[in-house]
Amino acid sequence: MGGASSRHQQDATSNCSENATNSSNSSLFSSEELTKLKADYDTGGVEKVKTVVQQKVSELSYTYLNVAVTGQSGAGKSSFINAMRGLQFDDEGAAEVDCKEPTLELTGYKHPNLPNVCFWDLPGIGTVKFPANKYLKEMNFKRYDFFIVISAGRFTENDTKLAGEIKRLGKNFYFVRSKIDSDLYSKRKRGRQFNEEEELKKIRNDCVSKLQEAGIPSPKVFLISNFDLNLYDFSLLNKALEDGLPNIKKSAYIVALPNLNSGIVEKKRKELRKQVWMLATLSGGIGAVPVPGVSLGCDIGIVIGGIVHFRQCLGLNDSSLQSLAKRAGKPVEDLKAVVTTPLVGGEITPDVINRLAWGAAAVTISAIELALDTIPVIGSIFGAGSSFLMTYKLLSGALDDLTESAQKVVAAAFGTENDPNQTSVR
């Protein structure tokens, strides 16, 4: 028994050293914030660390992500906005599609589960109501984190003017060529033989060259289908958008993505994992409530709130499952049938949490094992009998269970062949 324990400790120490270098949690904190976190613990203990962590949790809760989507009428803006929010055109709160009149009003569409994330449908520049010289002021450009300029054909002179103004303001912008599936379908209907990859390359190069001629030196053009975001350049667009955002906003963007494939679900798990230790840090001994069947107490409100948030971000609430079933053309019962955790489909209570049967296993974890989960800077400062430990283990287990079910739901909806690394054509 002692030999096994010694080997475990040696392996844990080795892995801990490696994870200290590759901490995935640190992306929510700047290096200066991590240094302050360590200094606060050294001078004020856990209570002072709680203050810093609470500020970061509050920052996560009150960070807004505003995405501007613009382009000419008929380009597919509304369909894109709906797709990015995981909605179909006839879902409640969906942007109206196939509207014959051009967009004349600035309209915001909040994410159905994460109201701090909003997609804005901007009227096209250069219309009678919004001439180019008044457009920036009327649209309040400084509000948006980045801009997506959508076209169903060639980008117009007004599109390039808009890009120039966005660049002048120091904002990122991305050109999206929509309705690629319709273009390829039309070619097939005409009975012409063609190489799809070559055709996509031709469309992309034509867009790039026209934009360069209009004065955009290095335009980024992404080809997409609003009806199947797994195809063409969506994964490349998604990566570009992520890379162009600062840490907190990047996290908000990732967890707001629709569950299109297993890769997106795994990205969400990694982002949400960064929040687990912070929520556990806020769980103090005062007022800790024992979970039925477990001797240690925890802040049950933090645990339940965290699980509800994870469930929404992973698309496992009822409305998200309904929307995903409609998108996939499957009965929602088929998706719900593969869910294996009691954390989906009802109210989260202490009894539900106890049914996960972590029980005594939760109290045997060592401080070294805590460090293995890449808790930055303060990974092993909490005692194994703390409320922190119980909360941490419950939230970690819940996140793993929910992620497993989300992966199964995506596979049931789209099949296991949806590999985002293989569906992009470049």
Which domain, by its residues, includes 237?
65-256
Tally of domains in the chain:
2
Q: What is the pLDDT of residue 4?
A: 37
Rounded distance between C-alpha atoms, residue 343 and residue 397, angstroms: 11
Q: Which residue has the higher pLDDT, 370 or 274?
A: 274
With tokens 């049931």, the residue in question is 412
Q: Is the pLDDT of residue 33 over 80?
A: no
pLDDT-derived band at 236, boundaries 50, 70, 90: very high
Write out the two tokens for 265. Answer: 């679900």
What DSSP string runs through 143-178?
G-SEEEEEESSSPPHHHHHHHHHHHHTT-EEEEEE-
Write out the two tokens for 260. Answer: 């299109």
Q: Cα angle vertex 151, ends 148, 157, to 5°?
A: 95
Q: Which of 254, 242, 234 is nearest to 426 (CA)?
A: 234
Q: Are residues 264 and 228 in the same domain?
A: no
Q: Are residues 53 and 113 in the same domain?
A: no
251 assigned to some structural domain = yes
In a 10 Å sphere around its CB, with 0-12 CB exposed, 13-18 middle and 19+ buried, how is residue 364 labelled? exposed
Q: What is the pLDDT of residue 239?
A: 92
Q: Are residues 80 and 224 in the same domain?
A: yes
In a 10 Å sphere around its CB, with 0-12 CB exposed, 13-18 middle and 19+ buried, how is residue 37 labelled? buried
pLDDT-derived band at 372, boundaries 50, 70, 90: very low
422 assigned to some structural domain = no
Q: What is the pLDDT of residue 109?
A: 93
161 assigned to some structural domain = yes
Which of 14-28, 116-130, 303-317 has the highest average model confidence (pLDDT)?
303-317
Q: What is the pLDDT of residue 69?
A: 93
- In the sheet where 65-71 sits, what is the strand order? 107-110, 117-121, 65-71, 146-151, 172-177, 221-223
Q: Are residues 13 and 90 in the same domain?
A: no
DSSP designation for 418: -
Write out the two tokens for 20. Answer: 């200290």
350 assigned to some structural domain = yes
Q: Mean of the pLDDT values across residues 8-28?
A: 38
Q: Is the pLDDT of residue 426 over 50?
A: no
Q: Which residue has the higher pLDDT, 388 or 27?
A: 388
Rounded distance between C-alpha atoms, residue 41 and residue 166, angstroms: 43
Q: Is the pLDDT of residue 116 over 80?
A: yes
81 assigned to some structural domain = yes
Q: Are residues 302 and 230 in the same domain?
A: no
97 assigned to some structural domain = yes
The bridge status of strand 117-121 relative to strand 221-223 is unpaired
Q: What is the pLDDT of residue 375?
A: 55
Q: Mean of the pLDDT values across residues 223-252?
A: 90
Q: What is the pLDDT of residue 383?
A: 45
Q: Are residues 282 and 201 in the same domain?
A: no
Using one digit for the tens of pLDDT, what is the confidence trace for 281-335?
Answer: 887 655 566 666 555 566 788 888 999 999 999 999 999 999 999 888 899 999 9
pLDDT-derived band at 27, boundaries 50, 70, 90: low
- Who contacts 290 (Cβ-Cβ below 8 Å, separation ≥6)? 296, 297
Q: Mean of the pLDDT values across residues 383-398?
A: 74
Write out the two tokens for 387. Answer: 């409320």
Dihedral sign computed on CA atoms, order 76, 79, 82, 84: negative
Residue ending a domain, among 241, 256, 271, is 256
Using one digit for the tens of pLDDT, what is the confidence trace for 61-84?
Answer: 888 999 999 888 788 899 999 999
Q: Is the pLDDT of residue 380 over 50?
A: no
Q: Are 367 and 259 in contact (CB under 8 A)?
A: no
The mean pLDDT value of the chain amounts to: 78
Q: Are residues 74 and 177 in the same domain?
A: yes
DSSP designation for 344: S
Q: Are 376 and 53 in contact (CB under 8 A)?
A: no
DSSP designation for 365: -
Q: What H or E segment, with its residue span, contains residue 110?
A: strand 107-110
Using one digit for the tens of pLDDT, what is the confidence trace for 163-180?
Answer: 888 888 888 899 999 999
Write out the two tokens for 145. Answer: 């984190």
Q: Are residues 205 and 342 in the same domain?
A: no
> Taking the CB of residue 419, how many other CB atoms lie within 10 A of it?
12
| Percent of residues, the chain, with pLDDT higher than 70 | 75
120 assigned to some structural domain = yes
Q: Is the pLDDT of residue 31 over 80?
A: no
Q: What is the pLDDT of residue 130?
A: 64
Q: Which of 11, 28, 32 is nearest to 277 (CA)?
A: 28
Q: Are residues 70 and 107 in the same domain?
A: yes
Q: Are 179 and 225 in contact (CB under 8 A)?
A: yes
Q: Are residues 53 and 76 in the same domain?
A: no
Residue ending a domain, among 222, 256, 290, is 256
Residue ending a domain, among 215, 236, 256, is 256
188 assigned to some structural domain = yes
Q: Are residues 286 and 220 in the same domain?
A: no
Rounded distance between C-alpha atoms, residue 20 and residue 130, angstroms: 53
Q: Are 343 and 334 in contact (CB under 8 A)?
A: no
Q: Which residue has the higher pLDDT, 15 or 317?
A: 317
Q: Are residues 56 and 73 in the same domain?
A: no
Q: Is the pLDDT of residue 133 over 50?
A: yes
Instruction: Indicate which CATH number applies to the domain containing 103.
Output: 3.40.50.300
Q: Are 251 and 392 in contact (CB under 8 A)?
A: no
Rounded distance between C-alpha atoms, residue 174 and residue 302, angstroms: 39
